[in-house]
């Protein structure tokens, strides 16, 4: 086997473990979310993540390899940080709790985006076009999950700004005050 193919397989084994960990972490994130749209975003991404695992399994098959996961230390760290945010969120207000969860989730998404970007490039380099297609579809979903989190964050950030305004001025923020 070429070294490049070995690298592709090793990176796929790493991200498979990362995705497996996420199927356990996302339900906890969803449970901790206060905003219903955020909860929905986590649930949607859980369904997508299961699909990512299936695509990886298909990609392994196309490459004639067993779908085997090797420990992904980076995701272990990101998931551990996410768990800390969940624990800390218990005593916090809705805005801070949800923004902390979004921050943790976006770190995960950015890790996955970079991982799938590398994988896709390696597959293309090796002429594994079917594998490349599968990885590109997953990459697109990771990017849209990241975008969705930013969209969900906007009204939460606005609510935080209003709260701050009220705390500082004692007045309700009216429309047009930004």
> Contact residues for Fe ion (CB under 5 A)?
49, 52, 112
CB 13 within 8 A of CB 54: no
Between residues 35 and 138, which has the closer beta carbon with respect to Fe ion?
Answer: 138
Min separation Cβ 138 and Fe ion, Å: 6
Residue nearest to Fe ion (CB): 52
Min separation Cβ 139 and Fe ion, Å: 9
In angstroms, the CA 34 to CA 90 distance is 11
Between residues 103 and 160, which has the closer beta carbon with respect to Fe ion?
Answer: 103
Min separation Cβ 46 and Fe ion, Å: 10
Among 29, 31, 13, CA closest to 79: 29
Between residues 35 and 49, which has the closer beta carbon with respect to Fe ion?
Answer: 49
- Crossing angle for the helix pair 73-89 and 94-125, to the nearest 10 degrees: 170
Between residues 98 and 112, which has the closer beta carbon with respect to Fe ion?
Answer: 112
Min separation Cβ 67 and Fe ion, Å: 15
Between residues 97 and 122, which has the closer beta carbon with respect to Fe ion?
Answer: 122
Min separation Cβ 24 and Fe ion, Å: 13
Min separation Cβ 136 and Fe ion, Å: 13
Residue 61 structure tokens: 């098959």
Between residues 52 and 120, which has the closer beta carbon with respect to Fe ion?
Answer: 52
């Amino acid at each position: 086997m070429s070294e490049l193919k070995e690298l592709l397989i090793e990176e796929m084994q790493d991200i498979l473990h990362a995705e497996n960990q996420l199927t356990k972490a996302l339900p906890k994130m969803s449970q901790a979310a206060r905003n219903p749209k955020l909860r929905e975003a986590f649930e949607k991404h859980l369904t997508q993540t299961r699909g990512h695992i299936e695509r990886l399994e298909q990609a392994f098959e196309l490459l004639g390899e067993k779908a085997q996961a090797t420990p992904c230390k980076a995701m272990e760290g990101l998931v551990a940080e996410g768990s800390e945010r969940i624990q800390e969120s218990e005593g916090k207000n809705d805005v801070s709790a949800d923004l902390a969860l979004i921050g943790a989730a976006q770190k995960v998404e950015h890790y996955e985006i970079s991982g799938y970007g590398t994988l896709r490039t390696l597959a293309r380099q090796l002429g594994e076009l079917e594998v490349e297609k599968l990885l590109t579809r997953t990459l697109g979903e990771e990017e849209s999950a990241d975008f969705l989190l930013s969209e969900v964050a906007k009204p939460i950030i606005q609510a935080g700004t209003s709260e701050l305004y009220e705390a500082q001025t004692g007045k309700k923020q009216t429309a047009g005050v930004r």
